[in-house]
A and B are shown apart, each in its own frame.
Chain A
Amino acid sequence: KQEVTQIPAALSVPEGENLVLNCSFTDSAIYNLQWFRQDPGKGLTSLLLIQSSQREQTSGRLNASLDKSSGRSTLYIAASQPGDSATYLCAVRGGGSEKLVFGKGTKLTVNP
């Protein structure tokens, strides 16, 4: 059974800092991995999708990496801004499955 863990559960940083969010998964036979952000009381916003054959994806100040063999992904946020404050969720899809398995998220607070 696939399990996804995100550490830390919460992170507080000053504005302008570069930061890394971590995601680990127990079964390396994944099809793809997706990072989302969720603002309080809102739905999820897709940030990046990495296919199992890819090592990283970039979008603006965000860079996500994937190391399938070690069961890890990181989300790098450059030059953080207060608007980046949200909960960041990692989800993996197993091969042959429609199911996304989610971690519980990292709550990020960027202080002005």
Chain B
Amino acid sequence: SQTIHQWPATLVQPVGSPLSLECTVEGTSNPNLYWYRQAAGRGLQLLFYSVGIGQISSEVPQNLSASRPQDRQFILSSKKLLLSDSGFYLCAWSADRDHEQYFGPGTRLTVT
């Protein structure tokens, strides 16, 4: 069966510091991978998605970036965090657009 992992679970970072969140998927190959952010009082917002190694599409212009160095690894990064980057970051995968998206446990990021 497939499993999706995210770490860390919780993170508190000062404004201006760098960020690296990691997501890995087990039990499948060549998944579509997604990064979402869920901010208080707002719906889930798609940030990035990837349909293959090195292929990244950005949905929202911001100071975040994503990379996919391996087939089942998806990384969300920032060089300098802003207060507005606080939120709950969720990674998801799907076999393709015909299939369900499955979400990881999330990372709670607080920027102070």
Contacts and interface: CB of A to CB of B under 8 A. Distances in A.
A45 B103 contact: yes
Nearest to B107: A43
B44 interface: yes
A103 B97 contact: no
Contacts of B99: 49
A89 interface: yes
A31 B28 CA distance: 23
Contact of B49 (A4, A44, A98): A98
Contacts, number: 54
B87 interface: no
A109 interface: no
A51 interface: yes
* Range class of the A interface residue count: 20 to 34
Contact of A98 (B43, B51, B100): B51
A43 B43 CA distance: 13
Interface residues of B, number: 24
A99 interface: yes
Nearest to B88: A41
Contact of A32 (B42, B98, B105): B98
A105 B43 CA distance: 8
A67 B104 CA distance: 30
A99 B57 CA distance: 10
B106 A99 contact: no
B32 interface: yes
A46 B100 contact: yes
Interface of A: 4, 31-32, 34, 36, 41-46, 49, 51, 89, 91, 93, 97-100, 102-105
